[in-house]
Every structure is written in structure tokens, then in C-alpha cells.
């Protein structure tokens, strides 16, 4: 997805085990992070209260479709722009992978 594109990403279609449904609100905004600039391509909350945010870090990112979601059970998941992933189950357990 090109920087500045306001099209919703695949994060909106994640299953109810984590991310918000495709019926969640979408918006386009700009921001920055310590790793460089990004464009928020979609974000929202589903009817169960689970929230998600999808970001585009540009063509040079290993994972151009990075996103994160947080759930009402306090678990959360990150798919990072460098291709790594992080999951926290909300109960003290977590998993990190550099390979995604």
C-alpha cells in the first residue's frame, strides 16, 4: 500500500480472536515513531470492544502491512514494520519472534 493511501488494510478482517471486524471505523492519519514515519491506514474497534490500528511504514519496511490489536481480555499483538511479531496474552505470558 502506498504511503498516504487511505484504503483499509487486512488488519480489519482479522478473526474475532484478536483484531476488529471489517465493520469497524476506518480513518487515515499521519504520525511518526522512533523508527521513522508512518501513515495510519485504518483503525477502529469492533462490537466486542477489541481495537486495532494498521500502519504503512513505506516501501523500505520489511513488513509494509504492520498492525497491532488489543483485546478486552488485556491481550495484545503487534506485527511490526521490521517483520517481527510480539504477542502478550494479558496474563503474564508473551512471545516474540524476529522472523514474524
User: What's the pTM value of the predicted model, to 2 decimals?
Assistant: 0.59
Predicted confidence at residue 61, as pLDDT, reads 87
Residue 95: what are its φ and ψ, rounded to 5°? -140, 135
Distance of CA 93 to CAs 75, 76, 88, Å?
A: 9, 11, 6
**27-60 in b/e burial notation, b at 16+ Cβ within 10 A?**
eeeeeeeeeeebbbbbbbbbeeebbbbbbbbeee
pLDDT tens, position by position, for the chain (100 residues)?
344 433 333 333 333 344 433 333 333 334 444 345 888 999 999 999 999 999 998 888 888 889 999 999 999 999 999 999 999 999 999 999 997 4
Nearest CA among 84, 78, 3, 14 for reference residue 45: 14
Predicted confidence at residue 36, as pLDDT, reads 54
Predicted confidence at residue 23, as pLDDT, reads 31
Amino acid at each position: 500500500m502506498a504511503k498516504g493511501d487511505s484504503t483499509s488494510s487486512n488488519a480489519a478482517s482479522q478473526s474475532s480472536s484478536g483484531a476488529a471486524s471489517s465493520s469497524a471505523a476506518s480513518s487515515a492519519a499521519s504520525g511518526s515513531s522512533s523508527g521513522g514515519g508512518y501513515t495510519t491506514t485504518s483503525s477502529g474497534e469492533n462490537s466486542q470492544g477489541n481495537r486495532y490500528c494498521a500502519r504503512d511504514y513505506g516501501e523500505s519496511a520489511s513488513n509494509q502491512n504492520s498492525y497491532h490489536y488489543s483485546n478486552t481480555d488485556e491481550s495484545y499483538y503487534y506485527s511490526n514494520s521490521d517483520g517481527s511479531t510480539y504477542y502478550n496474552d494479558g496474563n503474564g505470558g508473551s512471545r516474540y519472534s524476529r522472523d514474524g
